[in-house]
Each structure stands twice: as structure tokens, then as C-alpha cells.
Structure 1
Amino acid sequence: MQAVLFALKDISLVQFKNYGQASFRFDQRIVGFCGNNGVGKTNLLDAIYYLCFTKSYFTRSDQQNVRKGAAGFRIEGHFEKQGQLTDVVCILRETGRKEFISAGEPYEKFSHHIGRFPCVIIAPDDVQIITGGSEERRRFLDALLSQLDPDYLQNLIEYNRVLQQRNSFLKSQAEKRLTDRHLLEVYNSQLVRPGNWLFERRRSFLQDLLPLAAQYYKTIAGTDEPVALTYESQLLNSSFADLLHQGREKDLYLQRTGAGIHKDDIDIRYSDLPFKSIASQGQRKSLLFALKLAEYETLRQDKGFPPILLLDDVFEKMDAERMHNLLDQVCLRDQGTDLHHRHPRRPHPPRNGPARR
């Protein structure tokens, strides 16, 4: 029997979304949740995501995940990682205060938890990574790199903090009809340091990730389609300090920072045309899966074990060949995968926990 490298063994929910109180055990490598709409399949996947990322995948506010009529929630799970069992607990108190605890020790900073229990999720709305604005692709990239590198997450937090302060300063200067250029230069220097660090990390990382995603796309599509993915950043052509200096007057006029790594993007082309404009729904989903599988493989290589893979109703609008190729990648290629899959088409919900497949 193959030794377990990483798996979620069980989870319990109290007052979380539509669950009053429920517990589930996972004793198979691949687990499927099936049932009618509204029974809580996606909510269960989101609870697993909470234990890995300290937050919901689907909502920004923790309060939105509290069961109607309740004042808080609790999620608890036990992870087995390389022979060691670790408990993880997320509690939202009645006061709105959130606590996150691992192995009995509360975190002072939730960011310290990210990457300890790696996870990849694929949900229907994730197609926005392909069809939406650049912020969707940056969010995907930041989530992956934050699981790989704690320094990346800390630099990203610092960058966003200074960016918000600089934007608030620009707005205040416009309201007061003042221009404190010395203080603006201070904000510039504070922004440049983490910005340059993040840019170099992204550029180096994407040199490997994007070709891997392109290869996965060909495998899932079953054909050699002319898809190209390229990293785009203003910092590729000019230094960050120069960009901020050159855009100073425009930033003061618009009251926001127009240059920086918060404008980065991944350009996706099909025969030199914008992919999202000409691709079919099946092609868009195939590319989404390719990016997510590249994320999964990158985490597996870095951590030394496969991450948890959560699939939420992923096969809609895919033809049989693409579906088969995707399943071959996530279920058969790597026998270490711990995969949880929400399947909506079975007529009756499970009575005592998720269905095993």
C-alpha cells in the first residue's frame, strides 16, 4: 500500500453556510460529493479551502459564510502530511473576530499559514481567469506564488499596503489642491523596493509556468493548437523608479498610481489573436484546466508531495475527448493525488457524508 504523503482525513463544520453541524471522513484517494442543487456540495469544498488558505474561495466577507440566524462558525480538519497528523481550526467569533489555529497554536499572522497545506481549486467561475480582466490572472499568479514562497506573500502585502497609502495620498493632495512632492518621492521609494522584488520573481517563475501550461493545453485538447502565453509588465521596458517619476503628473491628476506590478498581465493568444475573443467555451475551459494543472504540478514539485485538488462541477461544456484527457491527468497520471470532486448530476444527496468513488 502506498504511503500517504498528504491528505485531508476529516472535516467538521458548525454553523458554516447551510450546515448546522456536520462531519465528513475521507478514507479514499478520490472522493466525490453528489446530490441535488443546494445541499451544500460547493460549501463543503469551500470549507476545505478555508482550512488551507484561512479564507473563502467564493466570498470576500467571512460574515457571508455564517449560517443564517447564527452568529459565527467553526471549521476543523485533520491533515496527514508525511506521516504526521495535524489539526487545523478556523473560528469566526460572534464579535466578528476570526481565529486560526494549527496544532493547538493560534497564528499571530494568518499569512504564516499559507503554503503549509497546499491546495488547488477549479470552480465554474474560474473561467474568468481566461476571459476576465488582468486582475483575475494576477490573483491566480499571486495565490500560486504565495503558496510556494512566504517572502513573495510578505512582499505582496507590503506592496499593496504602500500602494493603498500612495493612492490615498494622491487623492488627499487633489482635495487640498496641494502637491507635497517630497512625500510623494518617499512613497515612490517605499513602493519600488517590493515592486522590483515581485517583478523579478514573477518574471523568473513564469518562464517555467507558462510553457508548462501551454503543454497541458495541448494534452487536454488532444491537438497542437497555436496557443501562446506571455508575461506582460510595464517593468519589462523601463525601471519602476523611472515609470513612477515619468507618470507623476498624470498620477496626481487621476489620483491613482498608473504604473507598477499591479498592472501586470498574462497575454493569451491564439494564432496571434486574443484567445478570449475567438476561443470556444470548450477551449476556454481547457486552457483554464491547463493553468490549474500547471499550478498543481508546480506545487507538487516544490513541496515533494501532491496538493489537494478540489474540482467543482468542472465538466460542463466539455466534449468527451477533452473530459477524458483531463481525468487522465488528474486521476491516473499521479497516484498521490488527493482529489475531492463535487458532482451535481446524481439525483439524491448523500445521507452520511460524501459519496466515495
Structure 2
Amino acid sequence: MAILKKLVVQDYRNIGLAELEFSANINCISGGNGEGKTNLMDAVWYLSMTKSAFRSTERDNFRYGTDAFSLSGVYDMGNSLSSRFSIRVSAGGDKKLKRDDKPYPRISEHIGELPVVMVSPDDVSLVSDSGEDRRRFLNMVLSQMDKEYLSDVQQYNRLLCQRNSVLKSSSPDASLLEIMDSRMEVYASRIYERRNEFISALSPVVEKYYHMLSGGKESVCINYRSDLEKGALTQILSGLRGRDMALGYTSAGPQRDDMVFMMDGHPMKRCGSQGQLKSFLVSLKFAQYELMKSGFGVPPMLLLDDVFDKLDMSRTANLLSMVAGNDFGQIFITDSNKVRLEGIVDGITEDRAYFETVNGSFRRL
């Protein structure tokens, strides 16, 4: 189990320089809106996933007036071993990632070394926005748990770009497309099987946590939608070849997969209240946490960003009992209400650390 002991952040978003040492149990960050709480959480996420948790360009991550940022963390890796992970990103697009001062041959090799789950207000896009956000969620989870899955997605996307380039040409070569379709099928079938397997395992666990949060007031589930339900990708693309040539892009495949979130038999997007959506999204991330914990054999790090907002008192109490009653690893919690945060966490454990931020500067309380 990876425990973040010390974090150094330089020129990341609104954080000029921060050097912080954390509790191995619960860490609480309070401060007003826009002061840097979420940016600190995102820095922790970045060290695990080598990218921001939010839809942004690298340029957005540079503090105003700078042309680079750096992050480093010292982690307790278990068995009395510790490792220092560092990453530096420059405005030219250069990204250098090291473990104990040794560069990674490929950045993708780092994914899964520091398992992490984040609950954020931005998660609402998983319900309200396009399928791209839900596929991004699937890829983010499965890439941490399965390096072969990550490789399959990368290889499929590379071939997809090549196929789309052929389709955009003035006279697409049908025989070339047929060869590419066969190669894409290998990766597409494995991506479909792994996503289907994961969602089948995820849905009942989401329902369990939602029942705990809501007190059994509603029933929820997740349905998986994929073009590959109809058959092999080669057959599907063969039937759509004329259409794809006219469109200039590939109109079927895993890049169109989606999840449909249901509540009492109806799409949650249409009928869920703000509180219900927040409860579902927290349940989704806690289910992700449970499956990752089972897969890794150790609990991942849990980042709870502004998680108490839009939850009534009963759902907040239920959420706290979930955190207190399970074998969770290291937890980071942010809240704009310092008094509320202290009242919540002090009721769970005495092993905690409090931090406060103002304008990107942090101090331990």
C-alpha cells in the first residue's frame, strides 16, 4: 500500500511552492473557494496518473507567469521501503517522470504504481455530459488495474487514427481498410471483454453503496452499451464501410462505448435530483475503490474533494459511517467549512492532520 508521506509542489496552478508532510490516515484541507484545495488534490492525483484529474491542457497547469511545474512525493511502499516519485513538465511539452531519480523508459509503466480514487464535484460530468467522460472513467480505472488493457487501448487508438486518415483521403483503399479492421478487432475484442467484465462487477457494488447512503430510498444500476454487442468488429466495420467513407471517420467500435446510469428503471440524467446524483457518484467512486482494493490486494489512496456539499445530514452521516466502517487506506478530504470538517473527522478518528490554505499557501494546524 502506497502512503504519501511528503509532497513538494512547485508552480502548479496557483501553488507557488508547498512542502507538506501528511498523516498515514486522514488529511483534511480547509480554505475558501479558489484558494488551492482542489489544486493540491489534483497535484496528488497527477503524481499517480501523470495527468490532471480535470479536462485541461498542460498549459492550464502552469502557475501564471511560469513555463514549467514540478511535483514530487515520498511514498511508504510497505515492507519498510520508501520511494520518491517526481515529475517535471515544461511549456515545450517535455514531461520527465522519475522513480528514485531513475527515469521511466515509458510514462505508461508508472500507471498503477500509486493506485488512487478521487471523488470531485466535476464527477457530475459523468452523468450530464457525453459518453467520452464515461469512457475516460473506464480507461482511468482499468488502466490502473490492468497494464495489458492500457496497452490495448493505446494500440487500438493508434490504429483508429490511421484508419480515419485513410477514410479522409480522396480515394480510400478498401483492401487497406480490411487489413486495418482485422488488426483493430484484436484489441477491440479485449477492450470490450474487459469493460463488460468490470461493469458487471461494478454495478451491484454501486447499488450496495447507494443503498447505504440513501437508506434504500431508490434502486440504481449501470448498463453497458457497445457496438460490439452486435458481433465482431470486422463484421460491423465491413457493413459500415461505405458509410464510413462518406463520413470520413470510423462510426463504430469501442470509441463509442457508453454506460447508462439508471435509477428506479429510468435514466438518472433525466430524473435525479442534485442530492441523488451526488449520492450516486460517491457510490460509484466507492465501488471503484472496493474493486481496486480487491484487485491490488491493498487499499488505494482516496481523495474526497468537497464531497459533503449537496448531501443532506442523513446522507452525510451515512457517508461517514461508510468511511469509518471499512478498511480504508490514506484519505485526503477538502471542505470550505473548517468547523464542519473538524466536527466530521474528529468523530471518526484521532489520527488525522489538518491543513489550511490561503491563496495557494498551506500551513498545518
Common fold: TM-score over 0.5: yes
Determine helix, strand or coil for the equivalent of 2:261: strand
The alpha carbon displacement at 1:269 in A equals: 2.0
CA contact (8 A) 1:33 1:355 kept: no
The alpha carbon displacement at 1:156 in A equals: 0.5
1:338 matches 2:330: yes
Q: Pairwise mapping of residues 136-155 of structure 1 onto structure 2 (< 5 A)?
A: 136-155=133-152
Cα distance in 1 for partners of 2:93, 2:202 equals: 38
CA deviations 1:183-219 (Å, max 9, x no partner) are 1112211211100111111112222111111111111
2:332 is matched by which residue type in structure 1? H
CA contact (8 A) 1:39 1:349 kept: no
- 2:107 is matched with 110
Pair 222,354 (structure 1): closer, same or farther in 2 beyond 3 Å: farther
Residue of 20, 23, 38 corresponding to 1:24: 20
1:213 is matched by which residue type in structure 2? V
Q: Pairwise mapping of residues 1-357 of structure 1 onto structure 2 (< 5 A)?
A: 5-82=1-78, 83-93=80-90, 95-172=92-169, 176=170, 178-330=171-323, 332-346=324-338, 349-350=356-357, 353=362, 355=364
CA contact (8 A) 1:34 1:355 kept: no
CA contact (8 A) 2:166 2:172 kept: no
2:138 is matched by which residue type in structure 1? L
Cα distance in 1 for partners of 2:67, 2:268 equals: 45
CA deviations 1:212-255 (Å, max 9, x no partner) are 11111111111152322221112112221110111111111111
1:161 is matched by which residue type in structure 2? R
Cα distance in 1 for partners of 2:147, 2:101 equals: 22
Cα distance in 1 for partners of 2:176, 2:274 equals: 49
Cα distance in 1 for partners of 2:288, 2:363 equals: 26
Determine helix, strand or coil for the equivalent of 1:340: strand
The alpha carbon displacement at 1:335 in A equals: 4.1
TM-score normalised by the chain length of structure 1: 0.92
CA contact (8 A) 1:122 1:312 kept: yes
TM-score normalised by the chain length of structure 2: 0.90
The alpha carbon displacement at 1:342 in A equals: 1.3
Determine helix, strand or coil for the equivalent of 1:197: helix
Deviating more after overlay: 149-158 vs 80-89: 80-89
1:138 is matched by which residue type in structure 2? R
Pair 285,354 (structure 1): closer, same or farther in 2 beyond 3 Å: farther
CA contact (8 A) 2:70 2:86 kept: yes
Alignment size in residue pairs: 347
- 2:348 is matched with none
The alpha carbon displacement at 1:145 in A equals: 0.6
The alpha carbon displacement at 1:280 in A equals: 0.8
The alpha carbon displacement at 1:262 in A equals: 1.2
1:44 is matched by which residue type in structure 2? L
Cα distance in 2 for partners of 1:313, 1:45 equals: 11
CA contact (8 A) 1:90 1:99 kept: yes
The alpha carbon displacement at 1:122 in A equals: 1.1
CA contact (8 A) 2:3 2:24 kept: no
The alpha carbon displacement at 1:119 in A equals: 0.3
Root-mean-square deviation (CA, aligned residues, Å) is: 1.8
The alpha carbon displacement at 1:345 in A equals: 2.2
The alpha carbon displacement at 1:95 in A equals: 3.8
CA deviations 1:275-308 (Å, max 9, x no partner) are 2101111111111111100111111111121111
2:240 is matched by which residue type in structure 1? G
Cα distance in 2 for partners of 1:257, 1:273 equals: 30
2:82 is matched by which residue type in structure 1? L
Cα distance in 2 for partners of 1:306, 1:325 equals: 20
